[in-house]
């Protein structure tokens, strides 16, 4: 009997494991296993080159042929940021290309600032007006009659802060890697950020002027980190530059335009006006001054803008050279005057017809924020699972930090083995070291959970995690870690915190305070009420408030607790809508032991 003839499939020069698995119709785990058998340790999101993919395909009975080399840019998939939704709402025929917006990321001292300076200096057009004097957080350069917008605040925090608010960080990431130093922890972090945002990466291989630079070694490291250089058949452009000697800058800009041409960077300049706040500052004489980057539509003097919780009619617009302009279309950064207060960097802005409409939007926003504040939006394993069950999420994003490189690999292996079912596990980022603020930022903007193995979380990281509602889980034993992830996938995980009701109080009267606010005159009907505990305000079957006790008084004295049978005054934090007949339920959160 002759072997059945193998089927032919077309594969690109580089392909993520997940996509390959789909093409050859097996689970990603099987592909990962095959790769492991061949001595390659990859995660589901990592990309492998054609030759490797062909071997796997052959084992599955497929004959792989190389697809044409076009379209080197990663396809966009996944969640749609707000500005993209606006553009999706525009009629296709109205969309025209806009300048790409580029941000520069990379490890400290690899030359981000120097490169931004070199690019700015390389711009001939800037020379005419005596260069760029204003710093507004973004600038533009021109190459061959085309504009490129650079965000001038390098760093992961700025990029992620924008994404966390649903704004667009950038269309393209230029990743600076020093040729004498190679891929370092923050380089990996930047790759994770860009990948999570599904933004194409161009590598600027900097400091090639240095005698000890080793470009080939860096390319190898990049390939190992999922960025296969295009000269090796991959999809990542690696452009050698020297920011100090101003070499390769034009090549880099050309590459940006090339990648832009392969990415859908379009907008309707006559459409709904929406964009991102790049930065804002309070000027003593001008009042709040904000830099806005338009993503769709055209901003004009006199436009009424809502940006975060700020609003106002724009009195004046200035470009990055400090020149007054009347209009700013898509991808054009302008600094504006006329807002009533300072928005935050990363806020989305929009233009509305009337000031009344602007105030209404802000009112709704503040109300919604209040509501949210009462219900913590933790991205816990167990909550994620309920989302998965409800069909709202199909993947579990994890960020993994461990004490040693040697611990990371087995953990990733174990975790990948677990993601067999319908739920995909993405290890977004895995690195050694303590859990830092940056990890929390990445987790927050990617709806990920942070898992630490034999490491600690920095104080700043813990504080930020608390604020952003990011779940951090720490383990010292691998099987406990994998057990938890497995339980989460099966929906059996014990909650991180359990609520224990410790008492109830009936609201008998409501008093207004002279300094504003209200206090409930109560009688404790069960257990006790504690000053530092959490409370729920119940009205019939409804929970109308959930939050903290702001004050607890017995007659005129502040007290720490009040027992059953006693009368007391209870103030609720940021909440005054209390009615006679409501019940205040007091509870504490008890941590479920996971170690
Ligand atoms: P950042 O922390 O990534 O913003 O890095 P900087 O731009 O501050 O650069 C760090 C150091 O590297 C500075 O001392 C720069 O002068 C130096 N540097 C940056 N680019 C180059 C380069 O192309 N060649 C050389 N030799 N040094 C560079």
CATH number at residue 201: 3.40.50.300
Lowest mean pLDDT among 57-66, 94-103, 493-502: 493-502
Are 118 and 194 within one domain?
yes
Per-residue pLDDT, 432: 86
- Interval between CA 126 and ligand 1 midpoint (Å): 22
The CA distance from 537 to 575, in Å, is 10
Q: Which residue has the higher pLDDT, 505 or 37?
A: 505
Residue scoring higher pLDDT (452 or 89): 452
Which residue has the CA at smallest separation from atom 17 of ligand 1? 111
Looking at the structure, do residues 103 and 215 belong to the same domain, yes or no?
Answer: yes
pLDDT at residue 159, rounded to an integer: 64
From the CA of 178, how far away is ligand 1's center (Å)? 8
**β-sheet with 395-402: strand ranges across:** 424-432, 395-402, 448-453, 472-475
Ligand 1 center to 211 CA (angstroms): 15
Q: Are residues 346 and 405 in the same domain?
A: no
> How would residue 123 be classed by pLDDT, with cut points 50, 70 and 90?
low
Handedness of CA 79, 81, 82, 87 (dihedral sign): negative
CA of 118 to the centre of ligand 1 (A): 11
Token readout for 9 is: 């499939």
Query: Is the CB of residue 225 less than 8 Å from the CB of residue 427?
Result: no
pLDDT exceeds 50 at position 9: yes
78 within a domain of the structure (yes/no): no
Report how far ligand 1's centroid is from the alpha carbon of 99 (Å): 27
Please report, for the domain that includes residue 577, its CATH number.
2.40.30.10
- 412 CB contacts (<8 Å, ≥6 apart)? 41, 43, 400, 427, 430
Q: Mean per-residue pLDDT for 337-346? A: 88
Ligand 1: nearest atom to the Cα of 243: 23
User: Which residue among 105, 243, 246, 247 is best mutated to probe the pocket of ligand 1, counting the most ligand atoms within 8 A of its Cβ?
Assistant: 243
pLDDT for 2 beyond 80? no
Structure tokens at 130: 């005596």
| C-alpha dihedral (298, 301, 304, 308), degrees to nearest 10 | 70
pLDDT at 180: 96
**Residues 256-271, mean pLDDT to the nearest whole number:** 90
Of 540, 431, 454, 486, nearest in space to 193 by CA: 431
Distance of CA 143 from the midpoint of ligand 1 (Å): 24
- Residue nearest atom 11 of ligand 1, based on CA coordinates: 109
Res. 520: pLDDT tops 80? yes
- 449 pLDDT band (50/70/90 cuts)? confident
**Nearest-atom index, ligand 1, CA of 206:** 23
Is pLDDT of 48 > 90? no
Residues 485 and 509 in one domain: no
Q: Crossing angle for the helix pair 50-59 and 28-37, nearest 10 degrees?
A: 110
Confidence label for 247 from pLDDT (cuts 50, 70 and 90)? very high
What's the rounded Cα separation, in Å, for the pair 156 and 136?
Answer: 18
Strand duo 333-337 + 201-206: pairing: unpaired
Given a cut of 90, is residue 1 above it in pLDDT?
no
Instruction: Say if 86 falls within a structural domain.
Output: no
User: Residue 377: its pLDDT value, please?
Assistant: 47
Distance between Cα 496 and ligand 1 center (Å): 45
Q: Are the C-beta atoms of 510 and 440 separated by less than 8 Å?
A: no
Residues 111, 237 share a domain: yes
Distances (CA, A) of 417 to 60, 187, 476, 542: 19, 27, 20, 43
**Mutate which of 105, 108, 114 to test ligand 1's pocket (most atoms within 8 Å of Cβ)?**
114
Q: Please report the sign of the dihedral spanned by the C-alpha atoms of residue 76, residue 79, residue 80, residue 82.
A: negative
Q: Cα separation of 277 and 299, whole Å?
A: 13
Domain boundary among 267, 301, 316: 267
Please check the confidence at residue 390 and state whether its pLDDT lies above 70: no
Q: Report yes or no on 374 lying in a domain.
A: no
Binning pLDDT at 50, 70 and 90, where does residue 3 land? Answer: very low
CA of 440 to the centre of ligand 1 (A): 27
How does DSSP classify residue 38? Answer: T
Q: Examine the pLDDT at 343 and tell me if it is beyond 60.
A: yes
Confidence of residue 350 (pLDDT cuts 50, 70, 90): very high
State the angle between helix axes of 185-196 and 437-446 in degrees (0 to 180), rounded to the nearest 10. Answer: 10
pLDDT level of residue 126 (50, 70, 90 thresholds): very low
Can you give 422-444 as a three-state secondary structure string?
A: CCEEEEEEEEECCECHHHHHHHH
Burial class (CB in 10 A: 0-12, 13-18, 19+), 254: middle
Tokens of 318: 């200035």
Ligand 1 centroid, distance to 205 Cα (angstroms): 12
How deeply is 301 buried, as exposed, middle or buried, from its count of CB atoms within 10 A (0-12, 13-18, 19+)?
A: middle
Ligand 1 atom nearest residue 110's Cα: 3
Domain boundary among 203, 232, 267: 267
Q: Taking a C-beta distance cutoff of 8 angstroms, is the pair 594, 503 a contact?
A: no
Between the alpha carbon of residue 187 and those of residues 65, 108, 117, 181, 563, the distances in Å are 33, 9, 20, 11, 56
pLDDT for 397 equals 83
Among the atoms of ligand 1, which is closest to the Cα of residue 108? 2
- Ligand 1 site: residues with CB under 6 angstroms? 106, 108-114, 154, 206-207, 209-210, 242-244
Pocket of ligand 1, candidates 209, 244, 251: which has the most ligand atoms within 8 Å of its Cβ, to mutate?
Answer: 244
Backbone angles phi, psi at 303, to 5 degrees: -60, 145
- 234 falls in which pLDDT band (50, 70, 90)? confident
- For the cut 60, the answer to whether the pLDDT of residue 164 exceeds it is no
Q: Global pTM?
A: 0.60
Ligand 1 centre distance from Cα of residue 242 (Å): 9
Shared domain for 149 and 242, answered yes or no, is: yes
Cα 206 to middle of ligand 1, angstroms: 8
Specify if 71 maps to a domain. Answer: no
Q: In angstroms, what CA-CA distances link 9 with 23, 27, 72, 233, 505?
A: 8, 17, 19, 18, 69
Residue whose C-alpha is closest to residue 578's, from 532, 530, 539: 539
| Mean pLDDT, rounded, for 25-29 | 80
Q: What is the number of domains present in the chain?
A: 5
- Residue 437 included in any domain: yes
- Inform me whether the pLDDT recorded for 563 exceeds 60: yes
Report the C-alpha gap between 386 and 380 in whole angstroms. Answer: 10
- 547 within a domain of the structure (yes/no): yes
Residues 123 and 257 in one domain: yes
Q: Which of 127-131, 180-184, 356-360 has the highest mean pLDDT?
A: 180-184
- Judge if 247 and 119 occupy the same domain: yes
Indicate if 283 and 259 belong to the same structural domain. Answer: no
> What's the CA-to-centroid distance between 192 and ligand 1, angstroms?
23
Task: Tell me, yes or no, whether 263 and 149 share the same domain.
Answer: yes
Pocket test for ligand 1, best of 108, 109, 204, 218 (most atoms within 8 A of CB): 109
Residue with the larger pLDDT of the pair 531 and 123? 531
What's the CA-to-centroid distance between 112 and ligand 1, angstroms?
A: 7
Q: What is the pLDDT of residues 548-558, one digit of tens each?
A: 898 999 988 99
Q: Are residues 489 and 509 in the same domain?
A: no
Count of alpha carbons within 13 angstroms of residue 381, beta-carbon side: 26
Which whole number is the average pLDDT over 128-132? 47
Name the more confident of 269 and 91: 269
In whole angstroms, what is the distance from residue 271 CA to residue 103 CA? Answer: 25
Closest Cα to atom 9 of ligand 1: 111
Own/partner contacts of 412-418, CB < 8 Å, gap of 24 or more, are: 412/41, 412/43, 413/36, 413/41, 414/478, 414/481, 414/482, 415/482, 415/485, 416/28, 416/29, 416/32, 416/43, 416/44, 417/29, 418/482, 418/485, 418/486, 418/489
- Claim to verify: residue 144 and residue 257 sit in the same structural domain: yes
DSSP bridge pairs for 472: 450
Does the pLDDT at position 37 exceed 90?
no
Tell the residue nearest (CA) to atom 2 of ligand 1. 109
* pLDDT at position 382: 62
Mean pLDDT throughout 306-316?
93
Q: What's the mean pLDDT when you consider all of the chain?
A: 82
Instruction: Check which CATH number belongs to the domain holding 413 and give it.
Output: 3.40.50.10050
Compute φ and ψ for 321, nearest 5 degrees. Answer: -95, 5
83 — pLDDT class (breaks 50, 70, 90): low
Looking only at the bridges linking them, the beta strands covering 172-178 and 101-106 are parallel
Region 510-539: mean pLDDT is 90
- Which residue range forms the structural domain that includes residue 113? 95-267
Nearest atom in ligand 1 to the alpha carbon of residue 114 is 7
Minimum CA distance residue for ligand 1 atom 6:
111
- Which of the two residues, 441 and 505, has the higher pLDDT score? 505
pLDDT of the residue at 51: 78
Tokens of 208: 């090639």
pLDDT reported for residue 215? 95
Lowest-pLDDT range of 139-148, 314-323, 397-406: 397-406
Region 128-145: mean pLDDT is 72
Phi, psi of 446 (to 5 degrees): -115, 10
Residue 261: left (phi > 0), alpha (psi -120 to 50), or beta?
alpha
| Domain stops at, among 210, 242, 267 | 267
- Domain membership of residue 507 (yes or no) is yes
Q: Is residue 80 part of a domain?
A: no
Residues 419-450 as b/e (b if ≥16 CB within 10 A, e otherwise) read beeebbbbbbbbbbeebbbbbbbbbbbbbbbb
Inform me whether the pLDDT recorded for 156 exceeds 80: no
pLDDT at 169 over 80: no
């Amino acid at each position: 009997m002759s072997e059945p003839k193998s089927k032919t499939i077309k594969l690109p020069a580089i392909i993520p494991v997940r996509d390959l698995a789909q093409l050859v119709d097996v689970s990603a785990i099987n592909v990962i296993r095959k790769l492991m058998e061949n001595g390659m340790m990859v995660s589901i999101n990592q990309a492998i080159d054609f030759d490797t993919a062909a071997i796997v395909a052959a084992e599955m009975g497929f004959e792989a042929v190389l697809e044409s080399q076009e379209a080197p840019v990663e396809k966009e998939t996944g969640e749609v940021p707000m500005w993209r939704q606006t553009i999706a709402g525009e009629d296709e025929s109205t969309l025209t290309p806009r300048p790409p917006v580029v941000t520069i990321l990379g490890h400290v001292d690899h030359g981000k600032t120097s490169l931004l300076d070199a690019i700015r200096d390389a711009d001939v057009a800037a020379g005419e007006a005596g260069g760029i004097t204003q710093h507004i957080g973004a600038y533009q350069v021109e190459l061959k009659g085309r504009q490129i917008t650079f965000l001038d605040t390098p760093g992961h925090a700025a990029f992620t802060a924008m994404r966390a608010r649903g704004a667009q960080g950038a269309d393209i990431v230029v990743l600076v890697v020093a040729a004498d130093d190679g891929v370092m922890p923050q380089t990996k972090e930047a790759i994770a950020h860009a990948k999570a945002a599904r933004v194409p990466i161009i590598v600027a291989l900097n400091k090639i002027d240095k005698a000890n630079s080793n470009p080939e070694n860096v390319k190898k490291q990049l390939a190992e980190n999922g960025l296969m250089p295009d000269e090796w058949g991959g999809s990542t452009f690696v452009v050698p530059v020297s920011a100090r000697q101003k070499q390769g800058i034009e090549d880099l800009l050309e590459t940006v335009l090339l990648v832009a041409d392969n990415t859908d960077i379009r907008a309707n300049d006559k459409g709904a006006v929406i964009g991102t706040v790049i930065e804002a500052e309070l000027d003593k004489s001008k009042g709040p001054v904000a830099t806005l980057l338009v993503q769709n539509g055209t901003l004009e003097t006199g436009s009424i803008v809502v940006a975060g919780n700020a609003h106002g009619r724009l009195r004046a617009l200035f470009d990055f050279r400090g020149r007054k302009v009347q209009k700013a279309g898509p991808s054009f950064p302008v600094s504006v005057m006329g807002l009533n207060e300072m928005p935050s960097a990363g806020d989305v802005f929009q233009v509305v017809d009337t000031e009344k409409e602007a105030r209404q939007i802000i009112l709704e926003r503040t109300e919604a924020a209040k509501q949210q504040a009462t219900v913590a939006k933790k991205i816990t394993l167990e909550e994620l699972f309920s989302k998965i069950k409800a069909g709202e999420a199909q993947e579990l994003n994890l960020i993994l930090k461990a004490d040693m490189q040697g611990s990371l690999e087995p953990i990733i292996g174990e975790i990948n083995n677990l993601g067999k079912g319908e739920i995909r596990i993405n290890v977004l980022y895995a690195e050694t070291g303590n859990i830092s603020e940056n990890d929390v930022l990445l987790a927050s903007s990617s709806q990920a959970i942070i898992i630490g193995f034999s490491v600690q979380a920095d104080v700043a990281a813990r504080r930020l995690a608390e604020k952003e509602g990011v779940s951090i889980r720490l383990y010292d034993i691998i099987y406990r870690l994998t057990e938890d992830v497995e339980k989460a996938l099966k929906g059996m995980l014990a909650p991180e915190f359990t609520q224990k009701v410790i008492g109830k109080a009936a609201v008998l009267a409501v008093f207004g305070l002279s300094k504003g606010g209200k206090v409930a005159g109560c009688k404790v009907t069960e257990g006790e009420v504690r000053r530092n505990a959490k409370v729920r305000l119940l009205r019939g079957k409804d929970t109308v408030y959930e939050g903290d006790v702001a004050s607890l008084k017995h007659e005129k004295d502040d007290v720490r607790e009040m027992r059953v049978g006693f009368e007391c005054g209870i103030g609720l934090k940021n909440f005054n809508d209390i009615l006679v007949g409501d019940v205040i339920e007091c509870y504490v959160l008890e941590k479920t032991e996971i170690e």
